[in-house]
Amino acid sequence: MTSVTHINTGIRKILEHPSVYNSFQDAIGGNKQRKEHFLTYFKNTKNKNILDIGCGTAVLLEYIEDTADYHGCDMEESYIDYCIKKYGDRGSFYTERVGEVVREEWLSYFDIINAHGLLHHLNDNDSKDLLDISYKYLKPGGILVTVDSVFHQNQSSFAKWLISKDRGQNVRTPEAYLALAKQHFPQVDGFIDDKAYRIPYSLYTMIMKK
Q: What is the pLDDT of residues 141-163, one digit of tens each?
A: 999 999 999 999 988 888 888 88
Q: Residue 159 belongs to what domain range?
A: 10-209
**Gap between the Cα atoms of 38 and 35, Å rounded:** 5
Whether 188 is covered by a domain: the verdict is: yes
Q: What is the mean pLDDT of residues 43-59?
A: 94
pLDDT of 10 over the 80 cut: no
CATH number at residue 32: 3.40.50.150
- What is each CA distance from 22 to 30, 56, 192, in whole angstroms? 9, 9, 24
Residue 2 lies in a domain: no
**Cβ neighbours, 10 Å, residue 81:** 13
pLDDT tens profile 87-115: 999 999 999 988 888 999 999 999 999 99
CB 152 within 8 A of CB 173: yes
Residue 4 lies in a domain: no
In a domain, 200, yes or no: yes
Contact partners, residue 114, CB within 8 Å, separation at least 6: 41, 42, 50, 51, 52, 53, 55, 60, 145
Please say whether the beta carbons of 1 and 129 come within 8 A: yes
Look at residue 5 and tell me if it is in a domain. Answer: no
48 within some domain:
yes
**CB 118, CB 177: distance < 8 Å:** no
Q: How many structural domains comprise the chain?
A: 1
pLDDT at 173: 97
